[in-house]
Structure 1
Amino acid sequence: MRALMMRLERAAGLDRFGDRLQKSVQSVLRPQRVRDALHGVWLGHPLHPALVQLPVGAWLSTAVLDLLPGQRRAATVLVTVGTASAVPAAIAGLNDWAALSREQRRVGLVHAMSNTVGLACYAGSIAARLTGRHRLGRTLGWFGLTAASAGAYIGGHLAYKQGAQVNQSVSELHRMTDGWHSVADLATVPERTLLTREIRDVSVILYRHGDEVTVMLERCPHQSGPLGEGKVTEIDGHACVVCPWHGSAFQLNGGEVVHGPAATDQQVLPTRVVDGVLQTRLP
């Protein structure tokens, strides 16, 4: 399975279809507020993995009920709930997929194809059950569960091996030691200008607004983009830094994510000033 996943990552032949699909998804889901909602900005957590719990749970429960006598009606209800709830989960997943790197999109495309096969099997299973062909409905349901399980495995590789939609910057915290670290002389920190500094090889950005100074991890949680090279803009009355790679935006006074494709907040570090020197530490 490892070798198969590696071949998928290098399968450049998928790019021709994947690139066209990416443009189509970005065109259909053009409004920023729609993309943000589907990324899970409002939730502070990627929305797609939260949504998939309902179809997966319903389909697994259907498989159990199909093995028990007298549960045809309950199984039909559950397979219908699972299939209907898979649609918004798929839309959220496509929105996330369109913002990934090319190697991630290759694996994600196969993940989506496998789940699409599963969804088609379950749609056929519903039709068969509603017309009284319960044996065929059960068979299609088990085929659907097999395809969806394969898709889940590929999705796990996408998330845990390739790091899709996981916070790419938080691991930087593990490289910092305990205690307070000097960052800069406060007098040298200009107003409303991003500065990049390093703490034990961990890159951070500094932003000063009056007496308030923010120290934030510099690598964007979405794809490790350099926030220090981003621009500062005001969004909903808050000064925000916008990632130059994919446009994720974070409030500079607290790190809250404002626009995706990032779905998690950016880590802000505690600060203090001692003898005119700005210091920071682990949260």
Structure 2
Amino acid sequence: MMDPSHERAKQPVSAALAGPYGHPFHPILVTVPIGAWAGSLVFDIASHLVHDPAFLAQGAMWLIALGVLGALAAGVVGFLDLFAIPPGTRAFRVGLVHMTLNLLVTVAYAANFLWRHAGHAPGAGVGGGMLTLNAVSFVVLGVSGYLGGKLAYRYGVRVADEATQAEGFVSTHRPPGPTD
């Protein structure tokens, strides 16, 4: 028998904002900042390997900005998903750490964008400090992503219940009968 508080964590606080049952928006939206920030790190590293790094440095800066905007959107619906988890549970504590790390990472990337936008010399590659901040932020993002995966795959937050999931494993193949 499933604990009713566990069942509560599977339902959206607001289906219109957080996504309907079994289809949360947060996992879809997090692909924007993760992809943008991964691309910015690749561009930062590549800016040290080419003769004319300006286009890579500028591209990394705008990928960071895109990631911050995506993180804000993902954070809003993630916050709604956090409200679906009963307070005082292990899942809620993991959710709080996940949210805190994501907020720190988003602030770090926003600061990195402002640093680049305010003081970056055109035509220059990405500075070592900016590259380091990008890399450290990305590692922390990875830790937070691990915790987000734990929320979904281990604790089943916003994942359809087992009875709903079982529908996908009912055979549609009909065994041969006497009339076949």
Bin for the TM-score computed over the shorter chain? 0.7 to 0.9
Q: TM-score of the superposition, structure 1-length normalised?
A: 0.47
Aligned residue in 2 for 1:160 = 153
Aligned residue in 2 for 1:104 = 91
Q: Deviations over 1:35-69 (max 9, x none)?
A: 2222212x972100011111110000000000112
Shift of 1:172: 4.1
CA change 1:177–1:35 in 2 (3 A) is: closer
Unaligned runs of 5+ in 1: 1-33, 180-283
Structure with more strand by fraction:
1
CA separation in 1, counterparts of 2:76 and 2:108?
18
Give runs of ≥4 in structure 1 deviating > 3 Å: 171-179
Aligned residue in 1 for 2:131 = 138
**Is structure 2 residue 65 aligned with structure 1 residue 80?**
yes
Contact 1:54 1:85 in 2 (8 A): yes
Q: Deviations over 1:103-150 (max 9, x none)?
A: 211111111111111111101111111122542322221121111111
Shift of 1:78: 0.5
CA change 1:132–1:105 in 2 (3 A) is: same
For residues 105-120 of structure 1, the aligned pairs below 5 Å read: 105-120=92-107
Per chain length, whose mean CA-contact separation is higher, i.e. which structure has more relative contact order (CA < 8 Å, sep 6+)?
A: 2
Contact 2:33 2:70 in 1 (8 A): yes
CA change 1:40–1:175 in 2 (3 A) is: closer
Q: TM-score of the superposition, structure 2-length normalised?
A: 0.72
Percent identity between the two aligned chains: 32
For residues 1-150 of structure 1, the aligned pairs below 5 Å read: 35-41=14-20, 45-69=23-47, 70=53, 71-101=56-86, 102-133=89-120, 134-135=126-127, 136-150=129-143
CA separation in 1, counterparts of 2:150 and 2:91?
10
CA separation in 2, counterparts of 1:144 and 1:90?
16
Q: Deviations over 1:210-241 (max 9, x none)?
A: xxxxxxxxxxxxxxxxxxxxxxxxxxxxxxxx
Contact 1:118 1:147 in 2 (8 A): yes
Contact 1:121 1:143 in 2 (8 A): no
CA change 1:161–1:132 in 2 (3 A) is: same
**1:75 aligned partner, one-letter code:** A
Contact 2:22 2:159 in 1 (8 A): no
CA change 1:172–1:140 in 2 (3 A) is: same
Contact 2:18 2:80 in 1 (8 A): yes
SS of the counterpart of 2:130? helix
CA separation in 2, counterparts of 1:99 and 1:148?
23
Aligned residue in 1 for 2:164 = 170
CA separation in 1, counterparts of 2:23 and 2:170?
25
Shift of 1:171: 3.7
SS of the counterpart of 2:90? helix
Shift of 1:177: 8.1
Larger Rg: 1
Number of matched pairs = 146
SS of the counterpart of 1:126? helix
